[in-house]
């Protein structure tokens, strides 16, 4: 029985000990990551895939602005032409005596510079403005993706920190359980306590060891989730440098509720993106309506023509063209109705988002107050549980009580530690949610 007790104590000690540092020759160095570093990686040169894709969509929108602007800029082209031809005069309506049936073959040379400039086109101006609004919306969408990714990374880091705190608590539980086994064995050998006390202590040690194994597995899983959120290689080990403290998760957030709501309404990128999309749809509808107006273009064509290169002569053409669309089968009306519906739908979403912004701020502030109250209670509960363990140990050592009291006190301490960790995690989650609600998740540190 004594040998079995020593084995359990040894197993608990091995489980409670921190893992050995990896050898540099065998594994790459772990990525030391603070909470602020993890959040700032979202907007770094190597962002997560979601942020990188959002940036590419912004590049696409910028390209569409350039395409829309092209309709207002000059067009210049150079072309050359050579042909060896024969043709029938009769096919051209020429028929008189002496005219041959076939003319040619002969060479034709032509070199030309062509220029075109739109002088007046309100519709193209409208399309350019709509493309700019769409680019603004895409830029805001990227900012919204950065905010969402920063929140996701912060929550993933918080969960990993929570798991790390749980592992620390489970190691402390295992160490305490091993101490109780040693104490119970000593009390039994001294004839002060019964063998049932040793058995109870061993059961408690086995339970503590099982909890430690589960907590360690959950920590590794939390680190894998953090790696995926950051977009780093899952094979790279991550070492968390920040603990689950009450100072973690600070951000550029106003102190008062009204100021927080005002900042959220002014800076939330998802709201800005929706407003820009509505403006783009309304501008597109105006551009379609402007297609009814005349369009004025300047064209110039200059070059050399002839049947031989040495005989080529200068030719040119300069023209001003006016185009006035009259009827297109009501296609413009249908496109205008579509864009107006898109704009109205965007207005509805923007109104709903404004209400959601206020609700997000109020909910985060409520959770923050609740978490602060919970932390005050759990700190006192943890202190009382530690005192209960100390008193139960003293009573057991004095032989005035069995180790039932000690085991119950240990379980109370386990639950108190869990409650304290949960309260600190809830506070951090509330601070992250508040930062996201006002559009400042990227400033978390």
The per-residue pLDDT for 2 is 46
pLDDT band at 216 (very low <50, low <70, confident <90, very high): very high
The lowest-confidence range among 193-197, 299-303, 328-332, 431-435 is 193-197
For range 117-131, the mean pLDDT: 90
What is the percent of the chain with per-residue pLDDT over 90, rounded to a whole number?
50
Residue 131 near residue 68, CB atoms below 8 Å: yes
Q: Is the pLDDT of residue 307 over 50?
A: yes
Q: Is the pLDDT of residue 13 over 60?
A: no
The per-residue pLDDT for 354 is 94
Q: Is the pLDDT of residue 333 over 60?
A: yes
> What is d(CA 414, CA 424) in angstroms, rounded to the nearest whole number?
16
pTM recorded for the entire structure: 0.82
Q: Is the pLDDT of residue 187 over 90?
A: no
Q: How far is CA 62 from CA 67, 141, 194, 269, 273, in A?
A: 9, 13, 81, 18, 15
> What is d(CA 159, CA 441) in angstroms, rounded to the nearest whole number?
17
pLDDT band at 77 (very low <50, low <70, confident <90, very high): very high
> What tens digit of pLDDT does each residue of 385-404 get?
989 888 888 888 877 777 78
Supply 284's token pair: 């597109």
The per-residue pLDDT for 25 is 44
Residue 119 near residue 113, CB atoms below 8 Å: no
Residue 272 near residue 344, CB atoms below 8 Å: no
> What tens digit of pLDDT does each residue of 222-274 get?
999 999 988 888 788 888 999 988 888 889 888 889 999 999 999 999 999 99
Q: Which residue has the higher pLDDT, 260 or 31?
A: 260
**Which residue in 111, 115, 113, 114 sits closest to 313, CA to CA?**
111
pLDDT band at 7 (very low <50, low <70, confident <90, very high): low
Let me know if 127 is exposed, middle or buried by CB neighbors in 10 A (0-12, 13-18, 19+). Answer: buried
For range 17-23, the mean pLDDT: 47
The per-residue pLDDT for 24 is 43
The per-residue pLDDT for 9 is 46
> What is d(CA 445, CA 442) in angstroms, rounded to the nearest whole number?
9
Q: Is the pLDDT of residue 20 over 80?
A: no
Q: Is the pLDDT of residue 15 over 80?
A: no
pLDDT band at 4 (very low <50, low <70, confident <90, very high): low
The per-residue pLDDT for 28 is 62
pLDDT band at 27 (very low <50, low <70, confident <90, very high): low
Going along the chain from its start, the domains and CATH numbers come out as 2-18+26-73+121-291+333-443 (1.20.1600.10)
């Amino acid at each position: 029985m004594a040998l079995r007790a020593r084995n359990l104590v040894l197993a608990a000690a091995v489980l409670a000990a921190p893992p050995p540092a990896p050898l540099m020759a065998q594994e790459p160095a772990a990525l030391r990551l603070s909470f602020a570093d993890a959040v700032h990686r979202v907007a770094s040169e190597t962002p997560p895939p979601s942020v990188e894709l959002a940036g590419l969509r912004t590049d696409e929108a910028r390209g569409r602005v350039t395409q829309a602007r092209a309709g207002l800029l000059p067009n210049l082209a150079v072309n050359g032409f050579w042909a060896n031809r024969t043709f029938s005069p009769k096919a051209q309506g020429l028929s008189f005596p002496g005219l041959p049936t076939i003319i040619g073959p002969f060479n034709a040379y032509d070199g030309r510079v062509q220029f075109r400039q739109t002088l007046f086109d309100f519709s193209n101006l409208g399309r350019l403005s709509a493309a700019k609004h769409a680019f603004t919306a895409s830029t805001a969408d990227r900012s919204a993706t950065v905010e969402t990714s920063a929140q996701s990374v912060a929550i993933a880091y918080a969960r990993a920190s929570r798991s790390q705190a749980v592992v620390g608590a489970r190691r402390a539980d295992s160490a305490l359980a091993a101490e109780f086994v040693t104490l119970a064995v000593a009390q039994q050998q001294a004839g002060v306590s019964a063998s049932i006390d040793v058995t109870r202590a061993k059961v408690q040690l086995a339970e503590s060891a099982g909890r430690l194994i589960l907590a360690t597995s959950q920590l590794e899983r939390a680190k894998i989730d953090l790696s995926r959120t950051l977009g780093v290689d899952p094979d790279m080990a991550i070492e968390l440098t920040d603990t689950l403290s009450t100072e973690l998760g600070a951000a550029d957030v106003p102190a008062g509720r009204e100021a927080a709501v005002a900042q959220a309404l002014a800076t939330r990128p998802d709201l800005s993106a929706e407003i820009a999309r509505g403006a783009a749809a309304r501008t597109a509808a105006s551009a379609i309506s402007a297609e009814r107006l005349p369009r004025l273009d300047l064209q110039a064509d200059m070059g050399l023509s002839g049947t031989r290169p040495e005989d080529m002569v200068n030719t040119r053409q300069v023209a001003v063209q006016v185009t006035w669309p009259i009827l297109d089968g009501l296609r413009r009306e249908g496109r205008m109705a579509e864009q107006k519906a898109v704009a109205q739908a965007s207005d509805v979403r923007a109104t709903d988002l404004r209400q959601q912004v206020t609700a997000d701020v109020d909910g985060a502030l409520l959770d923050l107050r609740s978490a602060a109250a919970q932390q005050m209670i759990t700190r006192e509960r943890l202190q009382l549980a530690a005192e209960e363990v100390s008193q139960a140990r003293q009573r057991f050592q004095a032989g005035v009580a069995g180790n039932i009291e000690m085991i119950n006190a240990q379980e109370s301490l386990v639950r108190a530690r869990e409650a304290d960790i949960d309260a600190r995690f809830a506070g951090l989650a509330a601070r992250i949610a508040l930062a996201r609600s006002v559009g400042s998740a990227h400033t978390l540190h």
